[in-house]
Amino acid sequence: MKRALVLGFLLCTELAIFSFAAKGPNVVLILADDMGYSDLGCYGGEIKTPNLDRLARGGVRYTQAYNTSKCWTTRISLLTGLYHHRSDRDLSNTALVGEILKPAGYRTWWSGKHHASFNPHGRGFDHFSGFLGGAINFWNPGDKAREGEDVPGWKAVYTWAFDKKLIKPYLPSKDFYATDAFTDWGLAWLDEKERSDAPFFLYMAYNAPHWPLHAYPEDIAKYDGVYDEGYEAIRKARHRRQLEIGLFDEDTTALSEPEHKVWSTLSPKERKEEALRMQIHAAMVDRMDQNVGRLLAKLRETGKLENTLIIFLVDNGSSHERPKRGGKNAEAQWGSVGSFEAIGQSWANATNSPLRKWKVQGLEGGICTPMIAHWPDGIKLPKNSISREPCHLIDFVPTLMELAGERARYPKHLPPLDGISLTPTFAGKELEREKPLFFQYGSWQVIRDGKWKSVQKKSEAWQLYDLSKDRTETRNLASNFPERVLKMKSLWEEWAQEVELKVKFTKSRKNPSKK
């Protein structure tokens, strides 16, 4: 009898814990690839993004959310809650968010890009459909032309995984377009009947608008004439809208100095081509937003929208790259399967308005991401709120663990999580972070401590900015506060030693190496 009572108590306890876990919200995590800080309408852009704008109006926009300035490093931190320096490109010595949430009763799904070589299906994800690489041809990610088409302009032959099934090369049907396909797979999982009452974690890893610039002609046509005035006209218009919608304050956020070509010095042919590059970029963002709309419609249709935390962000600043590689057909229409183009530095500078620099840089244009959080049942703030709390990718796993409940498991033998929960920001509270935020990629070292940011490029002198008064890093205060610079430099070096980071800069080798 006594044994039966004990077993009954344990069973009830287990059910109670599972019930608590099941009350955790569904989560849809949407990551864009190489998108500009100001591309979305709700961040000042002219691109048509009504669905993401709607999420912003019903939720929270963050103005000081940080990534790592690079695709694969961002994905490590986002999925593990650790600084990427504690791991490697195969996410060794970590627990992925799927592995953490599954014990809490979550169904776990991942669609799209995975910038590593292992299959996430074996690392805590019930479903994974996507590619194990960095960039693909959006129309045809295979290595050969389909009947009646050009040879792919970007022939990156990566392995694709569909749960346990691996395919290389992957040659899809002619109706394939990556952004649409990724969404199709996510929608199919949302329709699954098995454990339909359990919460889910859906990670939508879009690779738009990463190069190559590929988009539907009808989406490109929406932006005819929009970019004919050039880089600075777009940059200034976006900055003006950012001030008008209250995203930034004119007294603290001056438009940074331009770092783009002078439009009037370009030939008519060059101006036409440059405008078209940006049209295709805009069309890719537009199509991604259309697909976000499809996800929202499904959540609304199934009655799950109210208790779903949707987070949108970008892996790094807008890309300045204009790669020369690729087997593009010079005669192919831009945006089609045979083309291979990219926006380049001048448009990257414009799309990151009002911030300085771009992808792989340590200034704000490289490491700051637009971020939206939407959760009607859980965010207790007025609609269309703005959070100015500095936050980081390392904070996502701690946030989701808190929301998932006690059964979310993080292995004790792994490095302790570097981040903190973002849930206070859902109620308009400040984050109580005990340590500064640290960054390092390529030639850049960065530390963010409260309102202060100190940044160093290569072995140059450390710069210092008060971001509460100078959000766009226009006034270097290092000479005014030398003791603060030394203190922050020392803190960064202590962190670098802790994560076993060794940075060397010489004339022959300028990239960091990990010990």
Q: Tens of pLDDT along 91-146?
A: 999 999 999 999 999 999 999 999 999 999 999 999 999 999 999 999 999 999 99
Instruction: Name the band, by pLDDT with cuts 50, 70 and 90, for residue 458.
Output: very high
Cα-based distances in Å from 325 to 31, 159, 276, 339, 341? 26, 20, 20, 12, 10
Residue 303 tokens, joined: 């009655």
pLDDT confidence band for 325 (50 / 70 / 90): low
Nearest alpha carbon to residue 56 among 327, 254, 242? 242
Query: What average pLDDT score do residues 245-265 get?
Result: 97
pLDDT at 214 over 70: yes
DSSP classification of residue 415: P
| Count of CB atoms situated within 10 Å of the CB of 395 | 27
Instruction: Give CA–CA dist 55/62, Å, rounded.
Output: 13
Which helix (H) or strand (E) segment holds residue 282: the answer is helix 268-301
Alpha helices in 45-154 (DSSP H): 50-57, 71-80, 97-101
- CB crowding 400-419: b at 16 or more within 10 Å, else e: bbebbbebbebeeeebebbb
Q: pLDDT confidence of 330, banded at 50, 70, 90? A: confident
pLDDT, one tens digit per residue, over 43-95 is 999 999 999 999 999 999 999 999 999 999 999 999 999 999 999 999 999 99
Output the pLDDT for position 328: 65
Q: Which CATH architecture has domain 437-514?
A: 2-Layer Sandwich (3.30)
Least Cα distance to 280 among 234, 219, 349 occurs for 219
CA 476 to chain centre: 28
Token representation of residue 495: 């962190």
Confidence of residue 1 (pLDDT cuts 50, 70, 90): very low
DSSP state of 393: G
Q: Where in the chain is the domain with CATH 3.40.720.10?
A: 25-427
Tell me how far CA of residue 331 lies from CA of 158, 213, 252, 446, in angstroms.
Answer: 26, 15, 47, 44
Q: How far is 65 from 305, CA to CA, in rounded Å?
A: 24
CATH number listed for the domain at residues 25-427: 3.40.720.10
pLDDT of residue 249: 97
- All CATH 3.30.1120.10 domain ranges of the chain, comma separated, are 437-514
Separation CA 72–CA 306 (nearest Å): 32
pLDDT for 154: 83
**Each residue's pLDDT tens digit, 372-424:** 999 999 999 999 999 999 999 999 999 999 999 999 999 999 999 999 999 99
Average pLDDT on 213-240 reads 98
